[in-house]
Amino acid sequence: MSELLFMEPVFKEAIWGGSRLKEVYGYDIPSDHTGECWAISAHKSGDGRVASGAYKGQTLSSLWENHRELFGAEGAEGVFPLLVKIIDAKSDLSIQVHPDDVYAGVHENGSLGKMECWYILDCDPDATIVVGHNAKDHDEMVRMIEEKRWGEFIRQIPIKKGDFFQINPGCVHAIKGGTLILETQQSSDITYRVYDYDRLSDGKPRPLHVKQSIDVIRAPYKADEGKGPQVTVDNGHVVRTHLVTCPRYTVVKLDVADVWEETFPAGFANVSVLEGEGSVNGTPIRKGQHFIVPAGYGACRFEGVLSLICSWPEA
């Protein structure tokens, strides 16, 4: 049996970041303006390393290149497909949108597009996020952006801990201040800022990408786009919630009460420990750890009181 790949996170500072990654998860963050923990990543902008075991110190991208058998993807082309983050938004992120694979491939040097989803780990009372917009068609969308009618344009919705959102390419979105989320996404760092509240970074406005945004925003916004049934099964040992299956990934949540065995589909799976402590096949695990279950590993026997988010790529 191969071994689980426990990962060392990579941290990213941001103008909107805070200190909750240290306060909640005990991470050694670079500053009190740390916005992102790239928990499982082989992206060139934040290539995580294996924390222990036979591959200790090796980057995830090097394992993908040289030990493709660990991922059940022998002969597959392209980059490691997923990126798992924890995002601490102390203040509002920009109003933004991501391209799909086709647009990014043409305009962003062959990059993947960015499909993503959010699980709300925690948020302030009366918190909101931006998902979608209110323009009735493409022409009205362009006018609202050019005339800076942001209050009319963006679609704000209330959130609470435990909510889940699928964010497809072309969907206007923004995480608002006071929100802590786990994000599962394609391995891409392409973000187009539509509006950034006229904030300054190092004395200058951050770049906007209005033309690209207009190119890729879908209008009108369809609130049910990308949403499938969320199925929850409680057998007394685990509450298993299927959050989403889309063309790029599947995401499930496991709330283990004592002992549970989970066998993941062929290929690899990402696992993030959101709450609690216990063990997986005898190896201790605790809140804030992230690991990869390699292809062919077999069943994972979880013991303890644990809340886990698990994801794997779709073919």
Distance, in Å, from the CA atom of 189 to the CA atom of 46, rounded to the nearest integer, reads 10
| DSSP classification of residue 88 | E
CB neighbour burial string for 25-54, b if at least 16 within 10 angstroms, e if fewer: bebebeeebbbbbbbbbbbeebbbbbbeee
Which helix (DSSP H) or strand (DSSP E) does residue 57 occupy? none
Distance between CA atoms of residues 7 and 57, nearest Å: 9
Q: How many CA atoms lie within 13 A of 83 on its CB side?
A: 27
Residues in the chain: 315
Among residues 20, 155, 193, 286, which one is catalytic? 193
Indicate if 193 belongs to the active site. yes
Cβ count within 10 A of residue 216: 23
Annotated active-site positions, please? Answer: 193
